[in-house]
Amino acid sequence: MNWLQEPIVGFDTETTGTDVWNDRIVSASLVSITGGEERKSKQWIINPGVEIPEGAIAVHGITNEVAKSTGQEPAVALEEITGILATVLGAGRPVVVFNASFDLTLLEVENHRHNVPSLASRLGGDIAPILDPLVIDKHVDRFRKGKRLLGKVADHYGVELADAHDAHADACAAAELVPKILDRFPDLSVLSPRELHASQVSWRAEQQTSLCEYFERIGNHEAAASISKAWPLERVSAS
């Protein structure tokens, strides 16, 4: 059976901000989709233990009051999330994460912060196979103009995203994007999830190198120096 006919698992987080080394997860979702239909899902609200900034609340709508009154303790939720991801990936099934280096790095930093065994340690090495629609889309349609936010990419491929920045809605959209992209670019559909994962490592490095060169050309050396080519995890120390 073609792996695209099997369940595709999507993962997404909503957070206190965009700094993977210092911000926290406030919600997460894992969803299993088969043939475009949701079959199984699980959501978490997490009490991050720090104040959620107003800017982040405006994005995902999870207030400090909601997080404190209904959120799980981080270590409990992180154990559940990481355990499920390890089971799926350990079985060789792909997990789809839009802009994976953000969500997966933040997850591992949070695991370290709360003394939860990391996803990498549970898998005994690389976190794979991961499919990142952002990386794949930038590779297959490099010169398309416009931002590559999830909502924009979903709209381009005809995937409905009714509630952007809701972890469940974003995880569903990400999972639905993969077969849509591969249907439009069938040369990629012959690759296995592991082969796609390996290809994305190279594609991401090329994309980030190009971005770094752009910043250098316009004289923004600080931005150029901040560009990481690692995927699906950042390699900077979280200590």
Cβ-contact 101, 232 below 8 angstroms: yes
Looking at residues 113-130, what average pLDDT do you find? Answer: 96
Q: CA 106, CA 115: separation in Å to the nearest integer?
A: 14
Looking at residues 97-121, what average pLDDT do you find? Answer: 97
Residue 124 has pLDDT above 90, yes or no: yes
Q: CA 45, CA 14: separation in Å to the nearest integer?
A: 9
Looking at residues 64-84, what average pLDDT do you find? Answer: 97
The pTM score is 0.94
Radius of gyration of the chain (CA): 17
Percent of the chain having pLDDT more than 90?
90
Residue 112 has pLDDT above 70, yes or no: yes
pLDDT at 237: 40
Q: CA 195, CA 218: separation in Å to the nearest integer?
A: 35
pLDDT at 1: 54
Q: CA 224, CA 227: separation in Å to the nearest integer?
A: 6
pLDDT at 65: 97
Cβ-contact 94, 3 below 8 angstroms: yes
Cβ-contact 181, 133 below 8 angstroms: yes
pLDDT at 163: 85
Angle between helix 100-113 and 74-90 (nearest 10):
130
pLDDT at 162: 84
pLDDT at 12: 98
pLDDT at 66: 97
- Cα angle 207, 211, 214; round to 5: 140
Cβ-contact 9, 88 below 8 angstroms: yes
Q: CA 98, CA 24: separation in Å to the nearest integer?
A: 18
Looking at residues 35-43, what average pLDDT do you find? Answer: 84
Q: CA 119, CA 103: separation in Å to the nearest integer?
A: 12
160-180 confidence digits (pLDDT tens): 998 888 999 999 999 999 999
Tokens 């003394």 correspond to 115
Specify the fold of 3-226.
Nucleotidyltransferase; domain 5 (3.30.420)
Residue 217 has pLDDT above 60, yes or no: yes
pLDDT at 238: 38
Per-residue pLDDT band for 34 (boundaries 50, 70, 90) equals confident
Residue 35 has pLDDT above 90, yes or no: no
Residue 184 has which token pair? 């439009």
Q: CA 202, CA 215: separation in Å to the nearest integer?
A: 20
